[in-house]
Chain A
Amino acid sequence: MSENEIFLEIQKILNEIAETKGVALPTLEADSDLLGGQFPIDSLDLASLVTDLEQLTKNDPFRAGFVNFRTAGELARLYAK
């Protein structure tokens, strides 16, 4: 999957999470800081997002250890092949 496709998946998953919580998701940009406070997600939601992406892409960028990322774009890049 391309970086852009993964970015759209991230948007979709975050929308579902926000929907479950009964809140609206602000527009997601590539430089949106995922845990920066503007999005209604906590670290466990992020954990679940990462698991969903791994399932979807069959790619585990964290296999060799934790890799730093802050923004939605950076996360999409990690999973793109």
Chain B
Amino acid sequence: MKKDSSMSEITDMKITADDHNPLVLRGECVVTRSEIYHQAMEQADRYTREHISRVMVCSDDPVKLLSTIKGCVTAGIDLWVAHTSLSSSVRTEIATHHGIELMIGDEEKRIESDQTIDRANPVGRIHTMTSGTSGKPKIAEHSLSSLLSRIMPTKMTRSHHGGMWLLTYQATGFAGLQVILTATLSGGQIVVPEQRTPIGFYKAATAHSVTQISGTPTFWRAFLMVVEPETLKLRQVTLGGEVVDQGTLDRLREAFPSARITHIYASTEAGVVFTVHDGQEGFPISFLQEDVPGVKLRVRDGRLQVKSPSAMRAYATIKRQPFTEDGWLDTQDRCEVRGERGFILGREDAVINVAGSKVYPLEIERFLLQLPSIREARAYGVPNPIAGMIVGADVVLDPQIVPAPTKRDIITTCQQNLASYQVPRLLTVVDSIDIQASGKKG
């Protein structure tokens, strides 16, 4: 009985005909749940009438995303969610490959069906894409219930109920969809900034009295540079998409003393794996002993592997799947246990090989961000004729710290605290560090 009612709540998505409460706010524009319901039903009717079984939506507008998701779930057909940042040729290639029949973006475009593609048994799958910065995005196949498995209404904590959520993520990414769906299912509202800049986010947050903000650590560090924290009444501060360092967690705690501070480990492939609420970086090693509800974690060959109801079923097109023979999803993230805590060191392919020693850029960024004079940091490999690679780092200094440390001061501090091969040998002081559409560092 319980399972049936929660399943119907999932497909219902708390978007109903008679609920006239606002759901999406952008500047002066307000869209109610009822309006989204009617858009969704019109779409579902059309899919059935025109025998459409595969739809791609490419829009940063949560109204369009929610109505399309609900329309597809209602009609029981398959959906692909594409980033607006993808080039139209890549989008068209994906659409052709998967036999998409309708593309929904700024305009709708009906695509001639390719009869050779087997579209049998559409089952309401939802495909999300990685950011695809290095070429074509990978496409992960989910169901609505796997996307929602960690945000079931019954599991909603009181602090989320009726929250005003600021959308800081790219709406079409895994994290953006999580925020949109969480706000929707917990009876909240989604606040869309008119400008996706730190000051634009701040204006939207104050104009709509935002109570929950979820963003990347990079987003938060930039946000902290422009906000007056006491003007925001935050109940929930959430960090995801990148590994968070202690320095950033401490700064957030100081800025928002009464908010719950949570960091999430999640990915397009693995879904939401775990959340940490104790304000400390890393995660308790009890998580490796099956302490996370419904999720199993283990470290094999130094990499974090997961079994989770929110994991994707498979990559939609790539033959090589990231699953082990015994059915665990390999996150490709290096993970190390130190004392009572597990730490994510970063993607295996991000490693910098300095004279044969492995350096994880995240470790260096984590160290730099702990220094009081540094507000943002990015570490990377620089080709070097002697060492193969050396570590380079760009840093943004805190303008309030006077006198500003010199490059030599920072390098000396690194030399005193890091292994010789980890020390950034090339340090550049910059005004800002580029942020990608995904909210992560460029």
Contacts and interface: CB of A to CB of B under 8 A. Distances in A.
Interface of A: 16, 20-21, 42-44, 46-48, 50-51, 55, 62, 66-67
Contacts of B382: 51
A20 B426 contact: no
A51 B415 contact: no
Contacts, number: 42
B386 A46 contact: yes
Contacts of A44: 354-355, 386-387, 390, 420-421, 423, 425
B255 interface: no
Contact of B412 (A20, A51, A67): A20
Given A43-B387, A44-B387, A50-B384, 20 more contacts: A16-B408, A20-B408, A20-B415, A21-B415, A42-B420, A43-B386, A44-B354, A44-B355, A44-B420, A44-B421, A47-B384, A47-B425, A50-B385, A51-B382, A51-B384, A51-B390, A51-B425, A51-B426, A66-B385, A67-B385
A44 B390 CA distance: 8
Listed residue (A21, A44, A46, A62) with the most chain B CB atoms within 10 angstroms of its CB: A44
A13 to B, nearest CB: 11
A70 B23 CA distance: 69
Contacts of A50: 384-386
A51 B427 CA distance: 11
B396 interface: no
Nearest to B386: A47
A43 B425 contact: no
Given A42-B420, A55-B426, A47 B411 contact: no
Contacts of B412: 20
Given A20-B412, A20-B415, A48 B425 contact: yes
Contacts of B411: 20
Interface of B: 354-355, 382, 384-387, 390, 408, 411-412, 415, 420-421, 423, 425-426
Contacts of A47: 355, 384-387, 390, 425
Contacts of B420: 42, 44
Contacts of A21: 415
A20 B386 CA distance: 21
A16 B412 CA distance: 10
Contacts of B421: 44
A48 B385 contact: no
Nearest to B412: A20
Contacts of A48: 390, 425-426
A55 B384 CA distance: 12
Nearest to A62: B385
A-B pairs with the 10 shortest C-beta distances? A48-B425, A62-B385, A47-B387, A47-B386, A47-B384, A20-B412, A47-B390, A51-B426, A44-B420, A46-B386
Nearest to A21: B415
A50 B388 CA distance: 12
A62 B423 CA distance: 22
A68 to B, nearest CB: 11
Contacts of A46: 386
A43 B269 CA distance: 41
Contacts of B426: 48, 51, 55
Nearest to B415: A20
A31 to B, nearest CB: 20
A71 B412 CA distance: 26
Contacts of A66: 385
A70 to B, nearest CB: 13
A66 to B, nearest CB: 5
Nearest to B425: A48
Listed residue (B355, B408, B425) with the most chain A CB atoms within 10 angstroms of its CB: B425
A73 B278 CA distance: 57
Nearest to B385: A62
A43 B384 CA distance: 11
A20 B410 CA distance: 11
A7 B428 CA distance: 23
A41 to B, nearest CB: 11
A62 to B, nearest CB: 4
10 contacts: A20-B411, A43-B386, A44-B355, A44-B386, A44-B425, A47-B386, A47-B387, A47-B390, A47-B425, A66-B385
Nearest to B411: A20
A48 to B, nearest CB: 4
